[in-house]
Structures are given as C-alpha cells and as structure tokens.
Chains A and B, each alone.
Chain A
C-alpha cells in the first residue's frame, strides 16, 4: 500500500494531509523515528486533551476513524494490564484513532461481532489461571457460543511470570481462541515476563505501525536518538522500573519479637527528590543483587573463576558482576529448565519438560544451582548466562500513605529462608534486605501502581480488610490514608499470624486506630497459640452474620496475602457466609460475589 493512503485515512483536514505528504518524504529516517517516538511519548497535547484518559475508560479523538474504534480489553491482576491498556489507548489516540478501553469483566460479549480491531492485554494468575475478570470472556471464546469473528484483526499482549510453569497461559489461550474463531492476527503475540517494559514497547510499536501504517523505529517510545541533531525536548526525569531510584533506608525494624519463628522487616525509605508518588494499594519494586552464598557455589560448580568477561544484557562485565546484578539465580524458571534441557540433551530433563506436572514439581523449591549440580554440563559463561532470566525486582505492597508519611514509603518484607534438597535457601531480595542492608544504605526502587487494590472512592463506604502475614501491609496504608479523613466509613480488620506475642505485626498501631476510631473492629487468629490451629477464615466465619451485614451495607472486601492456601480459603469462606446468611444457593452466591468483583467491591492482592 502507498504510504500516503495511511495519511489520507488519518484524522487530518485536507490541508494538513497535504502538508504531511509534502513534509514526510523530506525527512531522514532518523527524523521520522524521532518524531513518531516523540508524538507517542508526549501523548495528548494541551490543545487536544482527552479527558477520559485519566479516569480510564474511553480515550477519544475528536475525529472518528471510519474503521471504528479500536477495542482494548484488559484482564488484570495487579493493574499492570489496565495501565498498559490505557497507555496504549493514548498512543493510538495520538495516531488519530479512537480507542476504547474495557475491563474484560464488564465487556459485553455480544459487542464482539462489531469489533474490527481488538487488542487483548491480559495477565496470567499464578499457575496458568486467568485473572478473575477474564474468566468469563475466555470461557465464552473457548467453549461458549461465540460467533465467528472473521471481521476482526487482533493482537495479544500476554503478561506473566516465567517463574511459573504455565507462563503467560491466559494470553496464549486468548490468542488461540480468537484465531480459531477466524480472527486475524495483526501482530504476533508477545509473552512478557515480570520485566515487561521492553516487550510491551516492542509490541505497541508494532501495533501502532500496523494501525497507523506509519513506520515507527525500533525504539518506539524512546525519545531522541544518539547522534540525532534535532533538538531534544526537555522531559522531566522520571524513575521507573527501567530507571529505579536509589532510595535511602531511613528505618529498618524486624517487627517480630524475640523467639519468633518469623522474620518480618518493616522498611521506611526516603523518596525525596524522586518525584515518585504512590497511593495505598500500589507496590514498591526493589532490586536486589544475588547473594555470594548462592553465586560462589554456582561458579565453583561450573568451574568458572568469576573473572571471565561476559556480555550481559547490561553490557560487558565480569561474570561475577553479571551474576550478582543482572540475572536471576533464584527461583528456577521453566524457561531456564527448557533451555538447559535442550542444551544438555539430558534425557531426564527432557522427560520432565515434556510433562507440565513434572515441571511444576521440579521447579518447586529449586534454583539454578540445583539444576547445574544435578545435571552437570560444560559450557561457556555466555552460554550459561543465556539460560538465565534478567534480574527482576521484587514487589512489595506499600504499607504507608503519603498523606501521612509524605516523602517516605514503607514496606513490609517477609524474610524467606528455608531448606530444600539439602541446602539452605534464601529469598533473594528479602535476605538481602535482612542481612546486607542497614539504615542509611540505598536500594534501587520504583513504584508500580495497582489500580485493582484501592480504597473506595467514597470514603463513607465500610471496608473489610483480610490480610494475614504481610498481607496486612496495604491496610496499614489504608488506615493512614483514612486517618486524615473526616467522616470515614467503618473498617474491619482480619489479621492472622503464628503467635500473638511475637508476630502481631504493627500491633500498637492497630490498637491506636481502634481507640481513635479509624478502625472499627479487629479480629485476629494466631494459628500456633493453641493446639487447634485457627486462621482468619475461622474468624470470618465466627462473625459471618455481621460480615454479611457489612457487605449488604455496601462494604468493600479486600483480600491480601498468600495466594497458596489462604486466598482460596478466604474466598471459599466468603462464599459460604454469603450462602448462609444471605440464604442463597451456591449459584446465587457466586453471582453475588461476581457482582462484588465487577463493582470493584471485592479486591484482591495476592502473591
């Protein structure tokens, strides 16, 4: 197709179209690239503000394209997909196309037939499950009565975590289902690991290129280009996942009393000068180097000195430095396992990788050192690095509100130490923070917004907060935020840990909040203080009647913490309470919960 056709289809007046057709051929490739990146990056200009962009649902451009709006559906767990969907909509709008952003949970499936261009941005929950809002749509596309979608061009961006076996499974499922229904891929699906910024940039650039028929350079959203003579617009420095901020540790406290079986660290970090803002419910990403206690045995096992020069994804450096800073050594990922299986040709590993259940079992509790010890193989340092995933930050729910702590951010870190396969294991970031970091040291951080875990916009709404262990962190932030509010709604906390005496995280603060009325009720379950173990869900059940009454009054229900057993148990208990005290069938209770979810009154942050 002639490139001018694209311009002519664009949202321009005839005069603008002619000016562009005149201007563009005269530009050098670098200039085109710069301009496209610049326009993408700055988003809407003041004159063409898109009011809907901030509140999140529809991003509109005054001129409507003949091709109809581009639908962006997101299914999110922590809000990353939502954020990327909104960002994509802005970029698309900047091309002059209308983009509509929908939460999968509230998208009407019958509208699919009218959609010509669809972008799906969806994360995968833990062991290959779709996020709650995506469940129904995916089911509809896979097994339901979805019509043929031959009119549709689509693209899928899959978010996931390669530490899990079913990496990006939900994205794969959408991709496959849409293809089966006859829709055409406009771009190839990209499966993003936890460090998704680069992959997203690559994906959206391809999408934009396809949509706008405008050639966009390799760097897509990056501004400027080395050696480019064009003036560089002065944009404020912003710290993000790719450019973390060195935050000073102001306070570091192990909150567990003496003789506790737990180690939970409260950190207060200084964000002054970073310009970083956050809200309760958001997460703080922290980068940590790998421990020598793990790296040294790896070097020894492979027969490396560590002084070998290698090319890491961050440049040329010694192998030790690369392994310390640039790659992940724990946990072992499915991708590493697959690559290593292929590399070594190990029969045993091939058998394992052929079976998902075996993979899950194998990855559990193992790190890269286990793999190379169990299946020794001679390789060069560079080959070894190619097995590894980039070092990824660890995410911690913020435990503070800027209304209260201003330029600080507080987080709660459970220190992971355990023994498996005959070796002591350590959580990479948590033991770094526990063992190697003192007050006044700096760590690299960034903020990761989570739109899916927020206090009700209406401060009068009651809130029920379930958060055993470090799941309590965001509620500390909630309380700090509500503390400064007048006329706030009721609040009810459910907390659980092992022992009352040593493990009641932030105990004195909860007692104060109760006294001052920020918190209305608190129920606690300490599993190891009596023979019969008790958990938060037991306390919920004990107060089932009241809990249901709160829900009926419009309470928001929050669940944060361990996704393994706890989240499932709490969810089951919530449904049981709704059945029992709402006099509902299982199906009705399911609908009730669904309604809570789609109206954002059931929010989860589980990990």
Chain B
C-alpha cells in the first residue's frame, strides 16, 4: 500500500464518490437468503401477517430471517423442546430483542424503561452483550410489538441490531478519557445513524407509521439485497481495548495528540465466526491499514461497506464476512480498491498501543472531574438471584443517578458521569445491595465472558453462560492453590464457534462442541491483538480442569515478572 501522505487527497470529490459507490451488482448465482432479502419489499416480508396469527407463537421461516433486520431473533426454549413435542405443543417460541445504543450509552430514565420491560414481557433479566447492546430474552410473539414500541418510546431502537447491515457501533466507554470520549462517542453515534437502513418498514410494522409504497423506497447504500452478511464497526481509544477492536469488520483506533482527537487508524477484516469442519471459515483479526483524519470517518466507512456490498460472497453465507472478501482477493487489492474509490490514499498508520482488553473495576475519576463506577456483571446478566438482587440494585441506582450508564464490551456496566456530590448516594445503594459482593470476585472471574448459548440460542452446541460460573468456581480453587486468585487471565466461553463472547480472543478460550464437551484454546494476548490456538479438543469438565490445572501450575512457577498467561503459553511453546 502507498503510505505517502504527500498526494493531494480528494476525499470529498462527490461525483467520483457516488460513481464508485453505486456499482451495479452483477447477476450471479446467490444464496436463497439473497432472493429473500430482495423480495422482502425492503424488509417488510409478511411480518405483519405473521404477528397476527394466533395459532402459533412463531413467524414463518422467511420472516424470521427478515425480522433480524428489525433487531429480533426468533428463538425457542431448547430445554423444553422434547417435552413440548410430546405434549403436542409447538416449541416454546420466544423472541430475543436487541436494543442498540451506540457505544452502549443510556440514560437512567432509559434504564428504568428497559428494566421494567424485562419484567413485563421478558424473562425478568437484562443481558448486557459483548457488543454493548441490551438483550431481552423470552419475549412472546404477542408481546413483541408492545416491547419494540416501549423501547422506541424511550428513544432507543432495535432497528438493524441484527441482520445483514451495519449493526450497533461500539465505542469504548473510556471512563478516564472523558474529553476524547465525547468526541469519539459523537462519531460512533453518527456512524450508527448514518448506516441505519433507510427503509420505513420498521416504522410501519412496529410503530404504526403510514405505509410507504414499496417502489418509492430505496436503499442508496445497501440496495435491495442489503449486505452479504452482518457488518460490525467499532471505535476504540487506546490503551484500553475493551471492545476488542480487532474483532470488528471495520475499526477505528483513536489517535490523540495533546488530549485532542487527531484522527483514526483504520483497521478492517476482523471477525470471530467459524464453522467446525469447514476450513474455509476461521476467526480473523483486523489489519490496520492506514490513518485518516476524523472528518473522513463516514466516507471511509461508507466506502468500505460498499466494497463489501459489491464483492462479498453472496452464495455462501458462512464465507460472506468482509474478512473473507479481503483474504480471497488480498489485502493489497482491498486497499487499492478503497483508495481508488476514495480517490485518495490513506495516510500511514500512526503509532498506537493497547494494554488490555479487560475492564478496570471500581471508581475512577474522569478528567471532567466526574466519577465512573465499573461494576462487574457476571456474563452480563442483570437479574435477581439467590446471591444478590442485582437488577433491583441497578433500578435503585437509576432512580438516584443523574449521569449515564455505559455498557462495556466485556458485558460489564459503568455507572458514568456521577457528580462528586452524588457519589455517596450511588455508593449507598450499591452497599445496600451487597455490591460488588461479599467476596470480591477473583481475577479469573472478573475477566470472564460467556455468550447466552443454551437454552435460547439456536446455534449453541453446549452451555456457556449457565455453565461458566460453576467452572470458574472449580478453576478458582486451582488458581488459589497456585497463589493466582488475583491474576487477571481472560477466560471466555461460547456455546459454538461463532464466537459472540469472542472466545478466540481469550487467553483461555472454551468453545462448545457438544453438550458437556469443549475445545480448549490457549494463548490469546491480554490486549486482544492475538488469537488463541487450539490446545485440546472435546474436553469434558474433568479434562478441562486437569489440562488447565497443569498449565496454571507451570504458569505459577515458571512465569516471568509481569508476564501474561497468554504470552506465557507461547513462550513455553505449548501452543
């Protein structure tokens, strides 16, 4: 790639830009999903009719796919599948509803609405996702519309939280870099808005807005088939990489100069998903390809998306993310195409450095003088349980809180922008509810993540969220025996290789193969710039404890000063 910054750049040559970004899709063989999207009348399908059918709690299969663009997945309670079949009842269909909010920032008032919605129509829990979204689970079809209305009434949305479009834009919460954060967050919001589908289908179906005749609509960027696959953008301010920027399709790494935003390093081609037994699929980290000034962020993003729209694989959905487009044609081709379409070259990558992809817990004061409390939320699940009433606690916090809430990319929660005089009130509520807990979680637990998996995710082969806490109980005993109970080692578990909890970026990664069996991966970096490597396959719990026990024991005795677990396993060459 050219790294010459001398060339006169013409990023704002509109004629050129639109010519390049409206390339006609050539007719070729495509997957059925492509036809489905094209024939959906811009994401309408027959969702309205399906919602009205009182005989089933499900939507027809085609509409289930279109529904994703509206921010909801049809799921079922897999625990009850066999039982209900015998009872001559259909599966217990239910809907996951994902609320997107750029950078995962919501107001206390919005929190209260979501909290109440979880009780009214969901399973009385809120799932804070690894991409800074809220998820409701267990919403029945008859309550789906009411739920989406409630979310929109709170000035939040679910549109394009899923589907073959740009999804929620991530932006790390940056508690101690609040000045830059304001600016970066503003860009995240702009990207988020800008890349929403233009179709009015969402507003017609859920918000009863007036119908638009189908042929009057168009999607200037996405076109009638939308993207070949989902698309994820993130913005990150070093040295924290808590959103795992290298897992993004498109990432922007903040470059600061004297406390001011100078621009972004651009990275492309990240993605966690893979399919067991299909070697053409694999997790991949994004490549950093150049630097851009802040004002170019929309145009660069739009161009990257357009390239993926035009060249992404529309025949094989398992091979349709931008990472494959890049690998199939080469990174150089991609950069050339991008620069060609932009009519200018990217500037050379500016130096950057990441310390960690974990969160820093407890109180921190931002440079704006306000306080930020990062609360550990195990696997992002906000609920009341036998241990503590976390959901009640956060509702109480929301009632007294005047700042904001920020979801982290690690499924945790920041009670943000607390005025110094309000800090005591927040602390009091947390204390009243026993938070962060009688025994502070161990280093391993504080750095753990798990996806939803069973019983609601249709993709899961094995447990994740419901199982990881108890596995950590057992691993903690080993860690304690080795004097490592405070050691921050990232451990991530997913129920399938699609990797929602970015299991392939854990220093310890566990990926479900079948119920009770996991592949064990070791050696990702502690800051998210190196994937882990397969260490052992098909391990049951006893095998996991034995295998990990041995490595942890060696780590305890052989590690070098300050050496992270992920780096250690590479140094001793066991992966």
* A and B found bound together: yes
Interface residues of A (CB under 8 A from B): 253-258, 266, 500-502, 504-511, 514, 522-524, 529
Contacts of B54 in A (CB 8 A): 500, 523-524
Known: A510-B55, A511-B56, A514-B55. A253 touches B142 (CB 8 A): no
Known: A500-B142, A501-B140, A529-B142. A255 touches B89 (CB 8 A): yes
Known: A501-B92, A529-B142. A253 touches B56 (CB 8 A): no
A-B contact pairs, 27 of them (CB 8 A): A253-B86, A253-B87, A253-B88, A255-B87, A255-B88, A255-B89, A257-B80, A258-B83, A500-B54, A500-B140, A500-B142, A501-B57, A501-B140, A502-B89, A505-B88, A507-B55, A507-B88, A507-B89, A508-B85, A508-B88, A509-B88, A510-B55, A511-B90, A522-B55, A523-B54, A524-B55, A529-B142
CA distance A337 to B87 in the complex (A): 41
Known: A501-B140, A507-B90, A529-B142. A257 touches B55 (CB 8 A): no
CA distance A529 to B57 in the complex (A): 13
Q: Do A504 and B89 have beta carbons less than 8 Å apart?
A: yes
Q: B480 in the interface, Cβ–Cβ < 8 Å?
A: no
Task: Name the distance in Å between B54's Cβ and chain A's nearest Cβ.
Answer: 5
Q: B84 in the interface, Cβ–Cβ < 8 Å?
A: yes
Interface residues of B (CB under 8 A from A): 54-57, 80, 83-90, 92, 140, 142
Contacts of B86 in A (CB 8 A): 253
Contacts of B83 in A (CB 8 A): 257-258
Contacts of B85 in A (CB 8 A): 508
Closest-by-CB residue of A relative to B58 is: A511
Closest-by-CB residue of B relative to A512 is: B88
Closest-by-CB residue of B relative to A509 is: B88
Contacts of A514 in B (CB 8 A): 55
CA distance A257 to B55 in the complex (A): 16
Q: Do B55 and A511 have beta carbons less than 8 Å apart?
A: yes
Contacts of B57 in A (CB 8 A): 500-501
CA distance A509 to B85 in the complex (A): 11
Q: What total of A-B pairs shows CB separation below 8 Å? A: 48
Closest-by-CB residue of A relative to B140 is: A501
CA distance A256 to B85 in the complex (A): 11
Task: Name the distance in Å between A514's Cβ and chain B's nearest Cβ.
Answer: 7
**CB contact between A508 and one of B89, B92, B140 (< 8 Å): that residue:** B89
Contacts of B88 in A (CB 8 A): 253, 255, 266, 505-509
Contacts of A507 in B (CB 8 A): 55, 88-90
Contacts of B92 in A (CB 8 A): 257, 501
CA distance A508 to B92 in the complex (A): 12
Contacts of A508 in B (CB 8 A): 85, 88-90
In the A-B complex, list the 4 residue pairs whose CB atoms are closest, starting with the nearest.
A508-B88, A506-B88, A507-B89, A255-B87
Q: Do B55 and A254 have beta carbons less than 8 Å apart?
A: no
Contacts of A509 in B (CB 8 A): 88
Task: Name the distance in Å between A256's Cβ and chain B's nearest Cβ.
Answer: 7
Closest-by-CB residue of B relative to A255 is: B87
Task: Name the distance in Å between A484's Cβ and chain B's nearest Cβ.
Answer: 20
CA distance A123 to B87 in the complex (A): 37
* New A-B pairs, 9, CB < 8 Å, besides A253-B87, A500-B57: A253-B88, A255-B88, A257-B87, A257-B92, A501-B92, A507-B89, A507-B90, A508-B85, A510-B55
**CB contact between B87 and one of A256, A511, A523, A529 (< 8 Å): that residue:** A256
Closest-by-CB residue of A relative to B54 is: A524
CA distance A509 to B86 in the complex (A): 12
Contacts of B84 in A (CB 8 A): 257
Contacts of B142 in A (CB 8 A): 500, 529
Closest-by-CB residue of B relative to A529 is: B142
CA distance A402 to B284 in the complex (A): 61
CA distance A511 to B84 in the complex (A): 15
Task: Name the distance in Å between B85's Cβ and chain A's nearest Cβ.
Answer: 8
Closest-by-CB residue of A relative to B86 is: A253
CA distance A255 to B89 in the complex (A): 7
CA distance A510 to B83 in the complex (A): 18
Q: Do A254 and B90 have beta carbons less than 8 Å apart?
A: no
CA distance A510 to B142 in the complex (A): 19
Of A255, A504, A522, the most chain B CB neighbours within 10 A belong to A504
CA distance A266 to B83 in the complex (A): 14
Closest-by-CB residue of B relative to A254 is: B87
Task: Name the distance in Å between A518's Cβ and chain B's nearest Cβ.
Answer: 14
CA distance A257 to B84 in the complex (A): 7
CA distance A501 to B55 in the complex (A): 10
Q: Do A258 and B80 have beta carbons less than 8 Å apart?
A: yes
Task: Name the distance in Å between B137's Cβ and chain A's nearest Cβ.
Answer: 15
CA distance A511 to B89 in the complex (A): 10
Closest-by-CB residue of A relative to B85 is: A508
Closest-by-CB residue of A relative to B56 is: A511
Task: Name the distance in Å between B146's Cβ and chain A's nearest Cβ.
Answer: 11
Closest-by-CB residue of A relative to B93 is: A501
Task: Name the distance in Å between A434's Cβ and chain B's nearest Cβ.
Answer: 15
CA distance A263 to B88 in the complex (A): 14
Task: Name the distance in Å between B371's Cβ and chain A's nearest Cβ.
Answer: 43
Of B54, B57, B142, the most chain A CB neighbours within 10 A belong to B54
CA distance A507 to B55 in the complex (A): 8
Contacts of A254 in B (CB 8 A): 87
Closest-by-CB residue of B relative to A503 is: B89
Task: Name the distance in Å between B59's Cβ and chain A's nearest Cβ.
Answer: 14
Contacts of B89 in A (CB 8 A): 255, 257, 502, 504, 507-508
Contacts of A506 in B (CB 8 A): 88
Closest-by-CB residue of B relative to A266 is: B88
Contacts of A255 in B (CB 8 A): 87-89
Closest-by-CB residue of B relative to A251 is: B86
Contacts of A266 in B (CB 8 A): 88
CA distance A507 to B91 in the complex (A): 10
CA distance A257 to B83 in the complex (A): 8
Contacts of B56 in A (CB 8 A): 511
Task: Name the distance in Å between A215's Cβ and chain B's nearest Cβ.
Answer: 57
CA distance A255 to B87 in the complex (A): 5
Contacts of A257 in B (CB 8 A): 80, 83-84, 87, 89, 92
Contacts of A256 in B (CB 8 A): 87
Contacts of B80 in A (CB 8 A): 257-258
Closest-by-CB residue of A relative to B79 is: A258
Task: Name the distance in Å between A197's Cβ and chain B's nearest Cβ.
Answer: 36
Task: Name the distance in Å between A304's Cβ and chain B's nearest Cβ.
Answer: 42
Contacts of A522 in B (CB 8 A): 55
Closest-by-CB residue of B relative to A523 is: B54
Task: Name the distance in Å between A265's Cβ and chain B's nearest Cβ.
Answer: 11
Task: Name the distance in Å between B46's Cβ and chain A's nearest Cβ.
Answer: 16
Contacts of A511 in B (CB 8 A): 55-56, 90
Of B55, B56, B83, B86, the most chain A CB neighbours within 10 A belong to B55
Closest-by-CB residue of A relative to B91 is: A508
CA distance A529 to B121 in the complex (A): 12
Task: Name the distance in Å between A19's Cβ and chain B's nearest Cβ.
Answer: 64
Task: Name the distance in Å between B556's Cβ and chain A's nearest Cβ.
Answer: 46
Task: Name the distance in Å between B139's Cβ and chain A's nearest Cβ.
Answer: 12
CA distance A290 to B88 in the complex (A): 30
Contacts of B55 in A (CB 8 A): 504, 507, 510-511, 514, 522, 524
CA distance A504 to B54 in the complex (A): 11
Closest-by-CB residue of A relative to B80 is: A258
CA distance A505 to B57 in the complex (A): 14
CA distance A110 to B54 in the complex (A): 52
Of B84, B85, B89, B90, the most chain A CB neighbours within 10 A belong to B89
CA distance A589 to B83 in the complex (A): 47
Of A255, A508, A514, the most chain B CB neighbours within 10 A belong to A508
Task: Name the distance in Å between B80's Cβ and chain A's nearest Cβ.
Answer: 7
Closest-by-CB residue of B relative to A525 is: B54
Contacts of A504 in B (CB 8 A): 55, 89
CA distance A523 to B54 in the complex (A): 8
CA distance A502 to B84 in the complex (A): 9
CA distance A257 to B86 in the complex (A): 10
Task: Name the distance in Å between A299's Cβ and chain B's nearest Cβ.
Answer: 38
CA distance A14 to B54 in the complex (A): 74
